[in-house]
Structure 1
Amino acid sequence: MPSSATGRHAEDAALPPAEDEVAAYLAAFGTPDVVEVLLPDTSAVLRGKWIPGAALRKIWKDGVAIPLSIFGLDIWGREVDATEIHLETGDKDGLCWPVPGTLKPVPWAPRPTAQVLITMHEPDGSARGAPWKLDPRQQLAAIVDRFAARGLVPCVAFELEFYLLKPAGAPGAPPEPVFPATGEARQNMYAMSDLDAFAPLLHDMRAACIAQGLPADTVISEAAPGQFEINLYHRTDALAAADDAILLRRVIDGVARRHGLRATFMAKPLVDFAGSGMHVHVSLMETSGGNLFARPEGAGDRALRHAAGGLLATMADSTLIFVPSYNGYRRLVPGSYAPISISWGYDNRSVAVRVPNGPPAARRLEHRIAGAEAHPHLVLAAILAGMLEGIEAQIEPPPPLSGNAYEHEAPRLSPSMEEAVTRFGASPFIARAFGEDYRRIYAVMKREEMAAFTRAILPLEYDVYL
């Protein structure tokens, strides 16, 4: 069985008492009809419960009981027996506690509704319980603690791409994007006209972000009809940054439904257009002050190179976390602005790890592999673990690529889910970063998910062979 962490993340110490957060919410919004407690599972699917608003304080006082095995469900919400964490264990409950600062109103709900993110603990006789290591948020917390022990604080920002689609058609039918007012299915990168065409919906998304305290920044019309990107401001709290990304997806989905549309974070929903990614920007701040990558006399350059070297050295083993879906590998094709090689470069959007232009104080790495469907907490955990590996082992990366990386000879990212599962399941790095139990359970779940897709008969096969 997975081992439990013995410590407590430092986030608990600096936050106001829980009663203050509840009291502030009630003073601002009154008692909600319903409180939605949200627990992202291993696939970043939000699971949880509706709790009567009158019981709001009980969530903080008593916690929320949810089976520990919630993290052994596949993408469809089915138990994966091979994880051996379901009936074999008696299917015991864990105890979930609110994530401080995430009690917020739900502006798109039809009745007064609150939501709060929760995280899983394992009952161990203590008041709160030990962090449950199958919870991706707890995995990220453990890696952030490793940075703290070195006097470093990750500074993180997420960028999230998505498509707006028409309501679902017939089962199995391909999605229909919502074209701008012209009705043209064409690439129109950064078009202001596309932002104007969807202005009411996009303004409602921004308003919902403000209501929920999500640090939304730029909104961009992306490379395909009905495709957009919303960026989040950087945070020096890595856990909060990943929480923001999870909750931003919920805002986008909820507001789109209120407008009679669907939002999708599927990595490659349309064959002829670009896929959707989730880019992650990371710098490392020293607790003594300043950006590690901006140290003078070449020290910052060395630290940045070593962090990039660690990312490249661990990239093949971590690809299954960055691209966790069968569909996601369709996004990794040449010329798509999604990377296909284990590569890095300066101000180069065709590589996997980019060093953006900017002043020294903002020097950072941009990780460009993850699909929009990936789990923000797991993605960030794998990125940070790779950077730390490079810094601790002083791994020098290969020369940075310039120009079109698709035309360079470089090691290829796993081109299929099958290869990615195999690499992940045998990786010593993954075992060191996440634990052997987590490596086994995640690999088992993804192998069964992959098998379900490979057993399916595609419509194209009927068209060709019937």
Structure 2
Amino acid sequence: MRESKLGLRTDRHLSVAGLQSMIDNGDLDTVIVCFTDMQGRLQGKRMHAAYFRDHVLAHGSEGCNYLLAVDVDMNTVDGYAVSSWERGYGDMIFSLDTDTLRLLPHQPGAAMVQCDLTWLDGSPVAQSPRTILKNQLEQVAERGYTALAGTELEFMIFDTSYADAWQSGFHDLRPAVPYNGDYSILAGSKVEPLLREIRNAMYGAGMNVESAKGECNLGQQEIGFLYADALTTADNHVVYKNAAKEIAARRGQSITFMAKYDEREGNSCHIHLSLRDRDGKPVFGNGQRTELYDRFIAGVLATMPDFTLLYAPNVNSYKRFADGSFAPTKIGWGYDNRTCAVRLVGDGLSARLENRVPGGDVNPYLALAAMLAGGLYGVDHELELPAETTGNAYDADLPTVPQTLARARDAFTRSALTRKLLGDPVVDHYTNMADVELAAFNATVTDWERRRSFERM
């Protein structure tokens, strides 16, 4: 069975030997082999455990390369260099990262392993979100640092099943809490059976769960997890997001992480980031900010317009950016100031920056890669940190966060900096993702248009 060994991410993760033992003993019958796609979703296969042990564990598996070239509806769309009808929609390899082996307590008898994507010759798929983050982590390591991160992912709970929500056209859904339950223990009690099941399942899946708390919108909650190295945090983020939906669905409820569900507060995903040196000591400050920290923050701020597409990847993402909404509209920084795009918190080992731009729809690999690329750019080029924003950043004379997907797309694709830091193949790939999203939205007739125009226009 499982045993804690040096090298496991937590004592609840599975070693290869532990996995094999559980399969041999009949304790596992299913292994999910998966990767994270452009949209931040888990894609892959459910395999019989014995087949996985005998035929996949040593070599990985394979899947169609169109999985990195489709829209949310899984339509094959034009414009991607990696996958097309002309290229024949061939395979890519799901290369197992056995560090990610974990049980899934909410799916008895099941384990999961996450994968990197490679081509048939073994070369990495540059456009894979996990590869993009790992490339930036290599840059961090070359400078003698380790990146630690945490993501604060908000969601809304409905006492309406996913099937009923779909059937109703997502109208008249029933929020699990009918009022603002921010920090309310009473409001949290209304959804505690679901929250408790998610917390305990994720703890059993190897994550270090902190707490759950109410948020401002109706039925809105957040479950927090202890920070970890940036890759582990991104891996855990996508597993948790998928599992939370599965657990809610089993209870006849539904969860949405969309950035802006209605006209009230949106779902954020604040991302916390810090660096440590090879001895595990903080490099951002211990009592006062270091020069490196200033330059890192300056880099994140300077590159924010160019990288907003990776922080806010969908049309809906930009509905969240509104004055007085706790979602930032101005690109500035401040100490413990929730009106700024970048908020500085903590001291010593806890000194970190919080990027408040991403919403609940963010792909964590891409957002963390952008933050690291921007921060290192600031360090390498000795950028000067602008003056701190005190008071209300919404009213400050500061650059603005791009307000539409189209503007963010243009800034991303036209930027010499994004192309230098990420490479042309990555920039072109995610530019096309934005183009596909924009074309789909521009071709859609919305309920808002029908209400305004059906009779009165």
Offset of residue 21 of structure 1 = 4.6
Alpha-carbon spacing, 1:146–1:352, altered in 2? closer, same or farther (3 Å): same
Equivalent residues in 2 for 1:66-145 (5 A)?
66-84=63-81, 85-109=83-107, 112-124=109-121, 129-145=122-138
Offset of residue 309 of structure 1 = 0.5
- Does residue 1:46 correspond to 2:42, yes or no? yes
Deviations 1:81-134 (CA, angstroms, capped at 9, x unpaired): 21132223232211112222322233333x63222212211222xxxx222111
Alpha-carbon spacing, 1:154–1:369, altered in 2? closer, same or farther (3 Å): same
Output the TM-score relative to the length of structure 1.
0.89
For 2:192 and 2:389, the matched residues in 1 are separated by: 38
Offset of residue 53 of structure 1 = 1.9
For 1:460 and 1:285, the matched residues in 2 are separated by: 49
Output the TM-score relative to the length of structure 2.
0.91
For 1:80 and 1:141, the matched residues in 2 are separated by: 27
For 2:66 and 2:371, the matched residues in 1 are separated by: 26
- Which residue in 1 is equivalent to 2:329? 340
- Does residue 1:450 correspond to 2:438, yes or no? yes
Letter in 2 for 1:43: Q
Alpha-carbon spacing, 1:424–1:227, altered in 2? closer, same or farther (3 Å): same
SS of 1:162's partner is: strand
For 1:146 and 1:427, the matched residues in 2 are separated by: 20
Deviations 1:24-80 (CA, angstroms, capped at 9, x unpaired): 5437x8343322222211111221112112212122212111123321111221122
- Which residue in 1 is equivalent to 2:273? 282
For 2:432 and 2:192, the matched residues in 1 are separated by: 43
Please, which runs of 5 or more residues in structure 1 have no aligned partner? 1-12
Please, which runs of 5 or more residues in structure 2 have no aligned partner? 1-5
Q: How many residues align?
A: 439
For 2:8 and 2:88, the matched residues in 1 are separated by: 35
For 2:18 and 2:384, the matched residues in 1 are separated by: 46
SS of 2:317's partner is: helix
For 1:283 and 1:48, the matched residues in 2 are separated by: 32
Offset of residue 18 of structure 1 = 6.6
SS of 1:35's partner is: strand
Which aligned segments of 4 or more residues in structure 1 are displaced greater than 3 angstroms?
A: 13-19, 24-27, 168-171
- Which residue in 1 is equivalent to 2:295? 306
Q: CA RMSD in A?
A: 2.1
Equivalent residues in 2 for 1:171-186 (5 A)?
171-174=168-171, 176-180=173-177, 185-186=178-179
Identity among equivalent positions (%) equals: 29
Q: 1:35 aligns with which of 26, 31, 35?
A: 31
- Which residue in 2 is equivalent to 1:8? none
Deviations 1:235-264 (CA, angstroms, capped at 9, x unpaired): 1x2211110111110221111112110111
Letter in 1 for 2:36: P
- Which residue in 2 is equivalent to 1:254? 246
SS of 1:158's partner is: strand
Deviations 1:283-341 (CA, angstroms, capped at 9, x unpaired): 11011441111268x6x432111111101110001111100011111111111101111
Offset of residue 268 of structure 1 = 0.6
For 1:19 and 1:255, the matched residues in 2 are separated by: 27
For 1:431 and 1:34, the matched residues in 2 are separated by: 41
For 1:348 and 1:30, the matched residues in 2 are separated by: 53
Alpha-carbon spacing, 1:219–1:68, altered in 2? closer, same or farther (3 Å): same
- Does residue 1:269 correspond to 2:258, yes or no? no
